[in-house]
Structure 1
Amino acid sequence: MFKSIVLPATFPVLLLGVAGHAMADEGQWQPHQLPQLKSELKRIGITMPAEKLADLSKHPMSAIVSLGGCSASFVSPDGLVVTNHHCGYGAIQRNSTPEKNYIVDGFLAKTRAEELPGGPNTLVYVTEKVENVTDRVLKDLGANLTGRQRNEAISSRVKALIAECESDKAYRCSVPAFHRGLEYYRIKQLMIRDVRLVYAPSDKIGNFGGDIDNYEWPRQTGDYSFLRAYVGPDGRPADPSPNNVPYKSKDYLVVSAEGLKNGDPILLAGYPGRTSRYKLPSEIRFARDTDFPAKAATITADLAVIAEATKGNPAWDVRYASVAKSLNNVLKKTQGLMDGFARKDVAAIKDVQDAEFRAWYAKNGSGPQLLADLDAVIAADMALSREEAAYAEASHSDLLKSARTLYRLAQERQKPDAEREAGYQERDLSFIKARLTRLEQSFVPGVDQARYAAALNRYAKIDPKLRPQGLDALLPAANSLGSLYQSTELADTNKRLAWIGKDVDAFRASKDPFIVLAVRLNEVATNLDERRKEVDGNLDRTIPQYMAAVIAYKKSQGKPVYPDANSTLRVTFGTVAPYTPRDGLVKGPFTTVEGIVEKATDKDPFLVPAALTEAVKAKRYGVFKDPVLNTVPVNFLSSADTTGGNSGSAVMNKRGELVGLNFDSTYESITKDWYFDTAITRAIHVDIRYMLWVMKEVDHADNLLKEMTIKYPKK
């Protein structure tokens, strides 16, 4: 098990050091960095030893898991996992029908036998080992390699490291880059494939406020659900089977119903997705002025098409519920980023920081060529990104994406496994099958046709100079798609899966219109892929040199040196804290169950279960009543540094006990992915007391309350 990390002798030690005090609450720290933050943890009141937090084999870190896009934690020795409602939404939707709509009504398995299959996309990853492999990835890469050659060399080494790690098929391994390619770590995770839905409250609780309240404060959302991890009788991961048994989690979190108050310290552990704290001013302006507006316009249009195409059909509405929810979340975040950039000129702030860095570099760096190369490769990256965005519009069809995946798999399977592109090796086959199978839960031919026709019309309005060369002549007309959807067999799951394993000649001989289209688009798509390799290889050559200089510069100022988030295990810390979004207005840090009743209407998303309203009016608060608020708290704010992927992250008190779940950020905080403003950046968490209160008073989930170890307040 992982306890510490020893760097290669050739690797710059400066990366792990943090000179002086870290900036308060900023930083998504790798666990092994925490012993260097002892003074910061002590300052805010954390009593857990930093060395314990750095050890993945020990509690509490051994209880923190990933769901492959969300975070979660074990809360019983029998593989019981708690996460957000929206993280379990796919499993909830998968098992819902218009007759048994678990989205609206909620679901509770009173016995293990009643637990429902989460589906092939619902997985639990338990991180067991992290090791620095930077030297093995980057050592002796030739200085004269082209960008593509460098990219392929790094990819080859990464694949070899993964294959070595996955000699035991129970594990899934990855080798992500840190500090934009300056460091590489190999992550070894136990991958549990049989995951079942145990309990989810009604979306009247789990999604109270819906998209209206998304990223807003005050908030009163019970965003939680429970899953259970199952393994074979031998204790090893296995495909779903009635013979499987609950996974015996080595450690699990004790749940504390004692609560928090304003100013109390918290720890937060999970798998944050992506941040861009070290982006250059030019990259920020590209995102602000070009990328984000285009993305927002596309998603807005796509959502309107889905709404119109599914209107009046409950079954179709259920099928696209998860798709629409995900798109709405991305849209709100994108709009929040644009609003945040308009409210505070982050690019101008970065201009000042960049100028100061360049002045320092002129005296301490290795010459001006690095910065000139840096600006050139970033410009090339942004230019190619616009063509890739245009191609995405031109191929915005689930059936076409499936056909493209299948054809690409056939092409890659002509090569030895080690030489295939990442994502198309034998290790990826189960994931490809899962994606192609999952489509049946979120796809209707008529809706897909409407979405694709609208996307083709949007593509036609893109400046021809920004479209991939040769693509226009290959595309179908938006008004002629009916014949494609009527003639294809790919809408049938079994026939779609039957294409796996067929050779390239079979695809080229096919008359299925979507297979034909995928083959026709292949040359353009491949050209984009090859150009992306060249650009990425040049980025991989230049950006790490820049990051080494930036880290040295920041260290000389005593500023924090943590890598951008990249979906790997991180720990953040902070305090329960209110904030002032604008002059004269103070928000937070707690909301209460009375706020739910105050917001209640007779329309979604502010519908409230009758049992909840009755319990509030009767003031049946029991041991979950906060002594200061004199009621049950619902959500609370903290100053912890979070982002997407932190959904479901365990929020722990100073002793490492579970006191909440992270699920959102305030609207003013959205730009924190690019710039962390300590004054207004706040994460939003479900208070564990509200979760336990709903389980007891509303949903009567007594079996789960008994299964968990809960520390109640002293009388």
Structure 2
Amino acid sequence: MKKIILFITVSLMLVPASVKANEGMWFLMFIERLNHRDMQKMGLQLTAEEIYSINNHSLKDAIVQFNGGCTAEMVSKEGLVLTNHHCGYDAIAELSSEERNYLKNGFWAANRKEEMKPKSLYVRFFVRMDDVSKRILGVVNDNMSEADREKAINQEIAKIQKENDGGGKYTVSVRPFFQGNEYYYFVYQDYKDVRLVGTPPESVGKFGGDTDNWEWPRHTGDFSMFRVYADKDGNPAEYSPENVPLQPKHHLPVSLKGVQENDFAMILGYPGRTNRWMPAGGIDQNVKFAYPAWVEGAKTGMDVMKKYMSEDEKVNLLYASKYASTANYWKNRQGMIDALSKFGTAKTKAGQEAKFDKWANQKENKAKYGNVVSTINNFYSKTNEKSSHDSYLQQLVRTATYGVLPMSLGNGLIAYTKENATKRAEMLPRLTEGIEDSYAEFYAPLEKDVLAAQLNLYATKGAPYGLPATVKEIAKGDFKKYVADATEKSIFSSKNRVLEFLKNPKEGVIEADPLYVLSSDLMKQLRNKTDDQKQLEDGFAKSFRLLVEGLRESKLNTIQYPDANSTLRLSYGKVNALPADKRNDAKINNYTTMDGMVKKYKKGDDEFDMPTKIIEMNKARDYGQYVDKDGSMHVNFLTDNDITGGNSGSPVLNGKGELIGLAFDGNIEAMAGDVIFDPKLQRTINVDIRYVLWVIDKYSGAKHIIDEMTIVK
């Protein structure tokens, strides 16, 4: 899933100042108190109650978390939900086949019966939230160990969840903020019957591929459309032909007016993670140890996947989503290394921490805060090598299915062998389903080569920290030969061999299986912590919490908004151009046009090919009602909103709460933005909603979809 990263100037941290207008991912419940007046000055025409209300429908009722990792929005009274193409990518690939390749060729359902249900896809509606900081912090004290503190907090969280789940109707999540100095609970309602309505061809939805990823100017139609279904009473229900389209409490009207420089822009969504409080040592560790290992490990897996994907379209479909996700983070992490290094972010943070340490060691603060900075720095210095090792190992198990699958399936199979016939009969359906799912996107020749390549890399680069005994032994020989021999002997080499084992299970077979032994050792190595490491982590957790508390108390850091953690947030800013760029044909460098897209066209190229129909329609200026007043077809545009990964698919709204675009990316200059925010460099890249509608209506001929929506001209 796309993590959109944003960046900030060094000077902001050297001299703390009030939060800039476009900085911050804000809780909706505090909009009226903290942001509403500022937003009105910038162009907001809605009341705070129209944005967030518990008792009346509001904008928040149209915003959903999409399948746990992206954002989407309701755009019709009949349950249409709009998100990014890359957010729907996995579901589209799952529903595709060589004969009906919706990922490659696109798809639009002509009617409700043609809408298709992926195996597992859900949307989450936000119901309400509240502050429970006093309640939760009231059950802990400074004398508790971190383990005792965590236990007490979790017990109180369980009570809060039970009190607010409506007898199982709702999902309740209690989350820490400001590094455990505040707590809020969130109430959600999940709908699991979500069906594909339509998607543009990949040459539109992913135009530019990895080359253009995180870059501006962009020309990408990154959108797809689904529909949420419910039972006849509007309640969540498992898939059934009897289900009906959900009628949401609110859906977004869609504006055809377009945008201009300095227009107000508001984004609501579920940003995944920011680390604006990260200490200098953590930034240094990421730049010098963790991220370089991540980049190298990801590239190793990608190279093998790409080789097989290029040779076979069936394999390409199987691994399309996995490859896209790996490639996205590969480029992201390299961009983070470059940006954080270029702007000396760690040095800036260290300067702030030096000021804090001076404040912390004043007589009145020393007992509580005196050792905070030294404890944090000690933690990072002693875990740098481990962070590199862990990143190599994590990329092994993320890109090599054989790295984790034998252990995850094997533990269940071991339990199965030890049960009697009656209990086995009860376990069999669940195990069979798990096996089918595990091998649904699996190609053995590719998996063998990925495992061999990743083992070779890990054994070489992870050795300074220490390797599991199994890997040390394999490293004495040839990795390819080991993998070939191991898969020949292992029941986990194919789905059929695992299913055959279920028919005649024998105790001891799994425990001796070479891939199970390897997988178990790898996962044990990743999870294992010595007593010294646990002590280091406990000291760090307490000190980091105190650092954030102290920075807020001392006013050395004036950030008022909490870090992103996949909870609903609002950010606001404006349409904001970057300096003129000769690569962009637009009059102002805050948007791109279809003319610019056609100029990038490369026939037969994986990244820059496009349907000839688009070229012909652009030549004829066949834009319909979606044309901009300047006579061109706008494709993407820029705003300076503060967002990050998880905001993919988020609606971009004008001052009236009308949909003007979909957020889908950030610019590479702003790659360090989850750590430190820069209002000069940071931009959010959005699909112009008019281009979305043009693709649906004019290019795809699915005008019946447009007719469902509330269009504002």
**TM-score of the superposed pair, with normalisation by structure 1:** 0.86
* Residue-by-residue CA offset, 1:301-340 (whole Å, 9 max, x unaligned): 1111112233422211111111111111111111211221
TM-superposed deviation, 1:637 = 0.3
Structure 2 match to 1:70 = 70
* Residue-by-residue CA offset, 1:54-97 (whole Å, 9 max, x unaligned): 43663211111101111111111222110001101011101111
* Residue-by-residue CA offset, 1:374-427 (whole Å, 9 max, x unaligned): 3334445555434433543564532442333346679999xxxxxxxxxxxxxx
Structure 1 match to 2:405 = 402
1:275-290 map, 5 Å: 275-290=274-289
Structure 1 match to 2:666 = 665
Structure 1 match to 2:373 = 371
1:77-96 map, 5 Å: 77-96=77-96
TM-superposed deviation, 1:513 = 4.2
Structure 2 match to 1:619 = 621
1:307-456 map, 5 Å: 307-363=306-362, 365-367=365-367, 368-379=370-381, 382=384, 384-392=386-394, 395=397, 397-406=400-409, 438-456=437-455
Cα distance in structure 1, aligned partners of 2:548 and 2:210: 37
Structure 1 match to 2:689 = 688
1:82 partner SS: strand
* Residue-by-residue CA offset, 1:14-34 (whole Å, 9 max, x unaligned): xxxxx9953131111111221
Distance change in 2, residues 1:393/1:156 (3 Å): farther
2:652 partner SS: strand
Distance change in 2, residues 1:565/1:431 (3 Å): farther
TM-superposed deviation, 1:508 = 7.5
1:118 partner SS: coil
TM-superposed deviation, 1:529 = 9.2
Residue 33 of structure 1 aligns to which amino acid in structure 2?
F
Structure 1 match to 2:30 = 33
Cα distance in structure 1, aligned partners of 2:214 and 2:81: 25
Kept after mapping to 1: 8 A contact 2:403/2:522? no
1:214-613 map, 5 Å: 214-363=213-362, 365-367=365-367, 368-379=370-381, 382=384, 384-392=386-394, 395=397, 397-406=400-409, 438-467=437-466, 470=469, 472-473=471-472, 478=479, 479-490=481-492, 512-519=513-520, 524=525, 527-528=528-529, 536-554=537-555, 559-580=558-579, 588-602=589-603, 603-613=605-615
Q: Which moved more, 1:353-362 or 1:570-579?
A: 353-362
Q: Which moved more, 1:362-371 or 1:678-687?
A: 362-371
1:3-42 map, 5 Å: 22-35=19-32, 36-42=34-40
Q: Which moved more, 1:598-607 or 1:71-80?
A: 598-607
Cα distance in structure 1, aligned partners of 2:343 and 2:445: 43
1:614 partner SS: helix
Residue 706 of structure 2 aligns to which amino acid in structure 1?
L
Kept after mapping to 1: 8 A contact 2:284/2:346? yes
Residue 215 of structure 1 aligns to which amino acid in structure 2?
W
Q: Which moved more, 1:436-445 or 1:673-682?
A: 436-445
Residue 106 of structure 1 aligns to which amino acid in structure 2?
G
TM-superposed deviation, 1:693 = 1.4
Distance change in 2, residues 1:341/1:257 (3 Å): same
Kept after mapping to 1: 8 A contact 2:280/2:347? yes
Residue 641 of structure 1 aligns to which amino acid in structure 2?
D
TM-superposed deviation, 1:262 = 0.9
1:184 partner SS: strand
Structure 1 match to 2:44 = 46
Residue 309 of structure 1 aligns to which amino acid in structure 2?
Y
TM-superposed deviation, 1:460 = 1.3
Kept after mapping to 2: 8 A contact 1:340/1:668? yes
Residue 42 of structure 1 aligns to which amino acid in structure 2?
Q
Cα distance in structure 2, aligned partners of 1:431 and 1:353: 53
Cα distance in structure 1, aligned partners of 2:709 and 2:497: 44
TM-superposed deviation, 1:697 = 1.1
* Residue-by-residue CA offset, 1:522-550 (whole Å, 9 max, x unaligned): 75455349887655544432222211111
Distance change in 2, residues 1:435/1:651 (3 Å): farther
* Residue-by-residue CA offset, 1:37-64 (whole Å, 9 max, x unaligned): 1232122111212343243663211111
Cα distance in structure 1, aligned partners of 2:588 and 2:436: 45
Kept after mapping to 1: 8 A contact 2:640/2:683? yes
Residue 389 of structure 1 aligns to which amino acid in structure 2?
S
Kept after mapping to 2: 8 A contact 1:384/1:532? no
Percent identity at matched positions? 30
* Residue-by-residue CA offset, 1:162-215 (whole Å, 9 max, x unaligned): 455556444333222211222222222212112111110011111111111111
* Residue-by-residue CA offset, 1:410-445 (whole Å, 9 max, x unaligned): 9999xxxxxxxxxxxxxxxx9999986554443212
Distance change in 2, residues 1:572/1:446 (3 Å): same
Kept after mapping to 2: 8 A contact 1:269/1:571? yes
Kept after mapping to 2: 8 A contact 1:60/1:251? yes
Cα distance in structure 2, aligned partners of 1:136 and 1:496: 49
1:673 partner SS: coil
1:273 partner SS: coil
Kept after mapping to 2: 8 A contact 1:232/1:243? yes
Distance change in 2, residues 1:398/1:587 (3 Å): farther
Kept after mapping to 2: 8 A contact 1:150/1:537? no
Work out the number of aligned pairs and report it: 672
RMSD across aligned positions (CA):
3.4
TM-superposed deviation, 1:489 = 4.2
1:86 partner SS: helix
Kept after mapping to 2: 8 A contact 1:217/1:587? no
* Residue-by-residue CA offset, 1:135-161 (whole Å, 9 max, x unaligned): 454433354544444445544554554
1:177-196 map, 5 Å: 177-196=176-195
Cα distance in structure 2, aligned partners of 1:133 and 1:530: 33
**TM-score of the superposed pair, with normalisation by structure 2:** 0.86
Distance change in 2, residues 1:79/1:409 (3 Å): farther
Gaps spanning 5+ residues in structure 2: where?
1-15, 417-428
Cα distance in structure 2, aligned partners of 1:496 and 1:234: 43
1:696-707 map, 5 Å: 696-707=697-708
Kept after mapping to 2: 8 A contact 1:574/1:638? yes
Q: Which moved more, 1:576-585 or 1:651-660?
A: 576-585
Cα distance in structure 1, aligned partners of 2:225 and 2:207: 18
Q: Which moved more, 1:451-460 or 1:432-441?
A: 432-441
Distance change in 2, residues 1:699/1:390 (3 Å): closer
Distance change in 2, residues 1:689/1:525 (3 Å): closer
1:299 partner SS: helix
Cα distance in structure 2, aligned partners of 1:495 and 1:79: 43
Distance change in 2, residues 1:484/1:176 (3 Å): farther
2:278 partner SS: coil
Distance change in 2, residues 1:63/1:492 (3 Å): farther
Matched, 1:711 2:684: no
Kept after mapping to 2: 8 A contact 1:220/1:593? yes
